[in-house]
Structures are given as structure tokens and as C-alpha cells.
């Protein structure tokens, strides 16, 4: 299962990164890199069942109740 995860991310890199390099879009490459690393981390959290801090657990009790 981990190899499918790894192959999927390598495929994303192989498709998305060459046009960014060819067109010299360095700012877009930086944004892509940050989002890509966040997605790799979130995938690893899901795959390995690591504990993950959820800010909504602390924010929801502070919100007023919603009545429809």
C-alpha cells in the first residue's frame, strides 16, 4: 500500500514539475512545493494513523450554538 502512495506522489511530481521548471515559474514552484509537502504529510498521517492536531476541536466549543 505504501508503494501505491509513493508511486502516486512521484507521478504527480513527474507531471506537474517539468512545465514549471521549463517556464521558469519559480514562485508557482514554491507554492506547489509547499502544498505538495503538506499533502505528503497529510497522506502519511492517514496512512500511518499518526496523531494529528485538529484546531476545530478547540474552536468549536467557543462558537455560539447554531439554531435553524
SS3 of 37-66: the string is HHHHHHHHHHHHCCCCCCCHHHHHHHCCCC
pLDDT score of 38: 93
Q: What DSSP string describes 3-26? A: HHHHHHHHHHHHHHHHHHHHTT-H
**pLDDT value at residue 68:** 62
pLDDT of residue 55: 83
Maximum separation of any 2 CA atoms in the chain, in Å: 53
8-state DSSP, 23: T
- pLDDT of 52 reads 87
Residue pLDDT tens, the chain, 68 long: 889 999 999 999 999 999 999 999 999 999 999 999 999 999 999 899 999 888 888 888 888 887 76
Q: What global pTM score does this model have?
A: 0.73
Contact 17, 29 (CB under 8 A): yes
Extents of the domains making up the chain:
24-59
Amino acid at each position: 500500500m505504501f508503494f501505491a502512495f509513493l508511486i502516486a506522489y512521484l507521478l504527480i511530481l513527474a507531471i506537474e514539475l517539468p512545465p514549471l521548471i521549463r517556464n521558469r515559474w519559480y514562485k508557482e514552484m514554491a507554492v506547489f512545493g509547499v502544498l505538495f509537502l503538506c499533502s505528503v504529510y497529510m497522506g502519511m498521517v492517514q496512512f500511518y494513523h499518526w496523531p494529528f492536531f485538529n484546531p476545530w476541536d478547540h474552536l468549536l466549543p467557543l462558537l455560539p450554538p447554531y439554531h435553524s
